[in-house]
């Protein structure tokens, strides 16, 4: 079994989502010592946002590409290959302005590739990446899982939608909310999220 570990927060050691993804991966490795882990830090080395050079290579033969387009195609191919090879994907996804960090969005834009991770058919798009489990470490400053602010959640709802589009319906969340309140409330939120990790591990189900 292969696990792809993605972090997207630029806050390094101060990041709540990084603390959660590290704990999720550690728990998965403890449950399955043979687990192979591939790590990518999307904040430290973010893929470029989609531009002309990144979009042009799709569908063109290699001999028609510029050197810049070939370089972008190589980045995209590396990200797609990592994603397709993974049985489990652990995603660190803090909420930024009601959505996800742009670094994570850039990764999604690379791996959402027609003919590779989904395809178009006469009856609509079909995901080609099924059979995986995605575990999202979701961190939020406020309360968005319920109440009036739930309508502003374009973070977890977006991730569910885009992974379903790629064929992945098994998307699980480890969530810490109200982190901006600080102090004991932040600590309690993190403790509760950490305590919930075992319940979302697919390796625990297979044990």
Binding residues for FMN: 9, 15-17, 95-98, 139-142
Alpha-carbon distance values, 42 to 46, 107, 119, 163, 174 (Å): 4, 8, 26, 18, 19
What SS3 class is residue 109?
helix
- Please answer whether residues 143 and 185 qualify as being in contact, where contact means their C-beta atoms are separated by less than 8 angstroms: no
Burial 15-24 (b: 16+ CB within 10 A, else e): bbbbbbbbbb
Euclidean distance between CA atoms 105 and 46, whole angstroms: 10
- The phi and psi torsions of 47 (rounded to 5 degrees) equal -65, 145
Give the C-alpha separation, 90 to 24, whole Å. 8
Annotated binding site: 9, 15-17, 95-98, 139-142
* CA pair distance 117, 38, nearest whole angstrom: 19
Separation of alpha carbons 39 and 47, rounded Å:
14
């Amino acid at each position: 079994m292969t696990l792809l570990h993605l972090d997207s927060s630029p806050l390094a050691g101060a990041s709540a989502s990084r603390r959660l993804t590290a704990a999720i991966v550690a728990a998965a490795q403890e449950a399955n010592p043979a687990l192979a882990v591939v790590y990518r830090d999307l904040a430290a080395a973010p893929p470029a946002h989609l531009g002309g050079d990144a979009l042009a290579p799709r569908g063109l033969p290699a001999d028609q590409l510029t050197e810049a387009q070939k370089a972008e195609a190589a980045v995209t191919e590396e990200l797609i290959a990592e994603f397709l090879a993974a049985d489990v994907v652990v995603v660190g996804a803090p909420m930024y302005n009601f959505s996800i960090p742009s670094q994570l969005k850039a990764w999604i834009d690379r791996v959402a590739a027609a003919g590779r991770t989904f395809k178009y058919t006469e009856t609509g798009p079909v995901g080609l990446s099924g059979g995986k489990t995605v575990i999202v470490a979701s961190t939020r400053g406020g309360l968005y899982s319920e109440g009036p602010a739930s309508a502003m959640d374009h973070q977890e709802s977006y991730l569910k939608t885009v992974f379903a589009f790629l064929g992945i319906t098994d998307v699980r969340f480890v969530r810490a909310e109200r982190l901006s309140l600080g102090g004991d409330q932040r600590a309690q939120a993190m403790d509760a999220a950490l305590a919930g990790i075992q319940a979302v591990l697919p390796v625990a189900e297979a044990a």
